[in-house]
Structure 1
Amino acid sequence: MAQQRTKIKELLSNGTEGKTYTIKGWVRTKRENKNVAFIALNDGSTIKNIQVVADPAKTSEEVLRKITTGAALAIEGTLVASQGQGQSVELQAHSIQVLGEADPEKYPLQPKKHSLEFLREIAHLRMRTNTFGAVFRMRHAMAYAVHKFFHEKGFVNLHTPIITGSDAEGAGEMFRVTTLDLDKLPRTEEGKVNFKEDFFEKETNLTVSGQLEGELGALALGEIYTFGPTFRAENSNTSRHLAEFWMIEPEMAFVELEGNMDLAEEMLKYLIRYALDNCTDDLEFLDARAAEEEKNKPQVERNELGLIERLRFILDNDFERLSYTEAIEILKNSKPNKKKKFNYLIEEWGADLQSEHERYLVEKHFKKPVILFDYPAAIKAFYMRRNEDNKTVRAMDILFPGIGEIVGGSQREERYEELKERAAAIDIHEEDLWWYLETRKFGTAPHSGFGLGFERLMLFVTGMTNIRDVIPFPRFPGNAEF
């Protein structure tokens, strides 16, 4: 079997009938009788299987016995028109080699429906299922599309540090990085941990965002983006939280809030168009899967649109733009608020909007994606530029159906004194961020940026409902397996 391997995706799309091919993959199912064996083989290149037809008279009994669900095979055969339903071509096997057996008594992915909870427990194998094969092929496609979009726009990809001495959000929920012996911690005279003895000679953490360093890049290179892992030590077990996740964070010099909103809308539409144009097979499978899941939800929680319809909904609509103040008025006067149907009632200006409010604006009121801007300064980060009213900042959030906020960003505070004052107000010490503040002294300029949580995007484009199912090996409280 010296012939070069052909991927199943290539074979199904460009294979020539009558030609001999070698394929390699894992068995999904095997059906046999005394005259013929049908093997469904998948190699991960596509959601589709190739049907292999084997003649028991030409294949040893020992080999046929080892062909069970999960086994890895190398097969040489001739591509022929299929006589059966469900496929246009099949492979008539000449020779079959078992590369790796899968004991049917122990292999956990037998051909039946498995719950997502069960599959999370076997994350080392779950990518072999149709659902997760589709999800992670789409994750690759979306990552490629992100880089393609920014490259075409002339942005520079900047690698910002994963280990940091600053807390970009001022949230304080960070993972500590240390080489200190936890059983023999060095202490200062005051009895505190002496980080001077640590590797970096100061307290360091895993980053929550590449934004602050990204701004430094934008103020030199013009337009940059980061795409890397970020970490939050938030003890949350919801379907929307991970301890380790990936963020896309562009930063642009000489761009104010309006241009920031324009770029974010353009990027989201580009990514969704790329998915629709390039991930047809996986999207159709995930669309059907999501429709089945919807049937099990209470009527009130069901999505009115199917997965592919939701993606087209984004492309077919200009995003509605309105201020936080206008949104609060709409929500205050809405039926669910007046009838006390919201879990968090909107009573006054300054409330922090919840997912239920964001989804109401998108799905019920405007029936299109929404960009909210000019939020109260009190509920937003210190680095956002304050408006002339001294109450609001030039922040913006993009809200999507079914998911709520998908992008958050702002025009950054470029004025030195104002930024210094905002940082001090939330107890960020000047010596910790001297380098960030200093960029406001030397050639400061208006600049803006935003963050798109990659897993949030993946939830939207795949129709999955738990964020742990769109990252290969999820990290959350109590779980760092695999």
Structure 2
Amino acid sequence: MTSKTVAELLSQDGTLQDVSIKGWVRTFRANRFIALNDGSTINNIQCVVDFENFDESLLKRITTGAAIHVTGELVESQGKGQSVEIVVKTLDVLGDSDPETYPIQPKKHSFEFLRENAHLRTRTNTFSAVMRLRSSLSFAVHKYFNENGFNYMHTPIVTGSDAEGAGEMFKVTALDAKNPPLNEDGTVNYKEDFFGKETNLTVSGQLEAETYAMSLGKVYTFGPTFRAENSNTTRHLAEFWMIEPEVAFMDLAGNMDLAEDFMKSVLSYVLEHNKEDLEFLDNRLQKEEEKLPQAQRSDMSLIEKIKFVVDNNFKRVSYTEAIDILRNCKPNKKKKFNYLINEWGADLQSEHERFLVEKHFKCPVILFDYPANIKAFYMRLNEPDAEGRETVRAMDILFPGIGEMVGGSQREERLDVLKEKMKALDIDEKELWWYLDLRKYGTAVHSGFGLGFERLVMFTTGMGNIRDVIPYPRTPQNAEF
């Protein structure tokens, strides 16, 4: 007899004579009712045991967390809360289970406790829902790019370049930490290292993706990236996943079109395919917000936020216009912002971005043409504005509740301009000779953007801490599991 999943059985139109199912016990009440879950759905299926037909020693082994195999008849449920249930004919406990030490008991646990037991936390409803949504979002990302003619490329994890110029990178070395080879000036001689040069874990696949876009036209990379930023905030990880498309012959306007269409597509996918998980997480979030002061509660539910993005056109606003709006808005004038906006050139914070989205425009916002001195070297330089200020063709997409979701730009395709920008930032041309070659051989307008996948999962699930949307978070002083 072929085993079915819980999701398959709960979706049956009618009853079945004989069914087989395997899963983990959530609860076992009155030596009669087993709530069984196998991870295929947030819902459990009830298995009804006639204890007179089973040995008492077997029943004692059916504890929370135990893996069991059940066969029986799928019938219309006699109780509330489920449409069907299984009348058990045979029951096997598949492995050992220690009820005294099993940490995920049927009660509410703190997220801090569950992070300490991350290998078991997906046995809870919240984390099983989050990880199913993460999986669906991953599939939706690949589905979108595949259907729109993009080629998927795997960019290097070990690299000799710093794409962001921030310097917060993890070194990769095979040298003896206690006795490394030294140059005459006392510095480490990386020519003796495994790769013959200083190397790091990548912070972005963008630069390598650009090289492929300039031959394949449309590419994307979706893989792990690393930042050695010593930050313990709810939005920072040392290891996370990035989605980075790059497209040849596409300008900033086309880049904004692509990013908007992409975001709406992946969010529409989970609205259609993950309804039960979203409803559960929506209810969870509303219960949590009921504990907060009214002023701290969101104006929209979780599902309303997602639909807010899917159903609205994104408003496109220049950085300069946004600064004028923020400088003259009530929260700024009444000094309600933590970071006051006084002049052009300020680096916008989450509170400013959320104000533009949630209060002023009341739709997702794309800000573009940022000051050149607060953006990366590879962004295309605009002509100075009427006041002589330099901007670049950058764009950020702002969402409700979270602020910046996507960052991108038209890339600088002019060799002389790119060299000047690299020189000003003390970026060695020898390290990026291959990147400069793109501007020497068949240079053309091209653009792309980056999206931190965990930030998208946070937005979609309503989770408040980025450590709760990745299976095993890597943060300062934490590399457990």
Equivalent of 1:14 in 9, 12, 36: 12
User: What CA distance in whole angstroms lies between the structure 2 residues aligned with 1:196 and 1:298?
Assistant: 59
* Contact persistence 1:377–1:392 (CA under 8 A): yes
Equivalent residue number for residue 352 of structure 1: 347
Shift of 1:329: 0.3
User: What CA distance in whole angstroms lies between the structure 2 residues aligned with 1:331 and 1:457?
Assistant: 26
1:210 paired to 2:205: yes
Shift of 1:301: 2.3
Equivalent of 1:327 in 322, 326, 330: 322
1:151 paired to 2:146: yes
3-state secondary structure, aligned to 1:347: coil
1:114-263 map, 5 Å: 114-263=109-258
User: What CA distance in whole angstroms lies between the structure 1 residues aligned with 2:144 and 2:357?
Assistant: 26
Shift of 1:102: 2.3
3-state secondary structure, aligned to 2:430: helix
3-state secondary structure, aligned to 2:27: strand
User: What CA distance in whole angstroms lies between the structure 2 residues aligned with 1:457 and 1:465?
Assistant: 12
Identical-pair percentage: 67
Give the residue type in structure 2 aligned to 1:368: C
Give the residue type in structure 1 aligned to 2:405: I
Equivalent residue number for residue 462 of structure 1: 461
Give the residue type in structure 1 aligned to 2:308: F
- How many residue pairs get matched? 477
1:430-449 map, 5 Å: 430-449=429-448
* Contact persistence 1:70–1:101 (CA under 8 A): no
Give the residue type in structure 2 aligned to 1:436: Y
1:6-85 map, 5 Å: 6-14=4-12, 16-32=14-30, 37-85=32-80
User: What CA distance in whole angstroms lies between the structure 1 residues aligned with 2:430 and 2:4?
Assistant: 59
Shift of 1:15: 6.5
Give the residue type in structure 2 aligned to 1:49: N
Query: Deviation per CA, 1:136-193, whole angstroms, max 9, x where unpaired?
Result: 0111100000000000100000110000000000000000001111011110111000
Shift of 1:427: 1.0
User: What CA distance in whole angstroms lies between the structure 1 residues aligned with 2:249 and 2:53?
Assistant: 71
3-state secondary structure, aligned to 1:336: helix
1:249-398 map, 5 Å: 249-389=244-384, 391-398=390-397
Shift of 1:57: 0.9
User: What CA distance in whole angstroms lies between the structure 1 residues aligned with 2:334 and 2:210?
Assistant: 45
3-state secondary structure, aligned to 2:351: helix
User: What CA distance in whole angstroms lies between the structure 2 residues aligned with 1:306 and 1:18?
Assistant: 38
User: What CA distance in whole angstroms lies between the structure 2 residues aligned with 1:309 and 1:31?
Assistant: 37
Shift of 1:287: 0.6
TM-score computed with the length of structure 2 as normaliser: 0.98
Q: Quickly say closer, same or farther: Cα 1:464–1:185, change in 2 above 3 A.
A: same
Compute the RMSD of aligned alpha carbons: 0.9
User: What CA distance in whole angstroms lies between the structure 2 residues aligned with 1:19 and 1:450?
Assistant: 54
* Contact persistence 1:67–1:101 (CA under 8 A): no
Equivalent residue number for residue 413 of structure 1: 412
* Contact persistence 1:68–1:101 (CA under 8 A): no
For structure 2, the residue ranges without an aligned partner over 5 or more in a row are none
Give the residue type in structure 2 aligned to 1:355: S
1:108 paired to 2:107: no
User: What CA distance in whole angstroms lies between the structure 2 residues aligned with 1:382 and 1:113?
Assistant: 48
Shift of 1:4: 2.1
Give the residue type in structure 2 aligned to 1:24: K
User: What CA distance in whole angstroms lies between the structure 1 residues aligned with 2:362 and 2:354?
Assistant: 10
Equivalent residue number for residue 429 of structure 1: 428
With 275-284 and 6-15 compared, the bigger mean Cα shift is at: 6-15
User: What CA distance in whole angstroms lies between the structure 1 residues aligned with 2:257 and 2:399?
Assistant: 16
User: What CA distance in whole angstroms lies between the structure 2 residues aligned with 1:424 and 1:21?
Assistant: 70
3-state secondary structure, aligned to 2:419: helix
Query: Deviation per CA, 1:78-101, whole angstroms, max 9, x where unpaired?
Result: 101110000010000001100123
Query: Deviation per CA, 1:190-248, whole angstroms, max 9, x where unpaired?
Result: 10001011100000000000000000010000000000000000000000000000000
Equivalent residue number for residue 89 of structure 1: 84
User: What CA distance in whole angstroms lies between the structure 1 residues aligned with 2:471 and 2:293?
Assistant: 29
Shift of 1:298: 3.0
3-state secondary structure, aligned to 1:57: helix
* Contact persistence 1:228–1:246 (CA under 8 A): yes
* Contact persistence 1:15–1:79 (CA under 8 A): no
TM-score computed with the length of structure 1 as normaliser: 0.98
Q: Quickly say closer, same or farther: Cα 1:352–1:49, change in 2 above 3 A.
A: same
Query: Deviation per CA, 1:273-318, whole angstroms, max 9, x where unpaired?
Result: 0010000111111110111111123322221100011111112210
Equivalent of 1:4 in 2, 17, 22: 2
User: What CA distance in whole angstroms lies between the structure 1 residues aligned with 2:268 and 2:95?
Assistant: 39
Equivalent residue number for residue 472 of structure 1: 471
Give the residue type in structure 1 aligned to 2:200: N
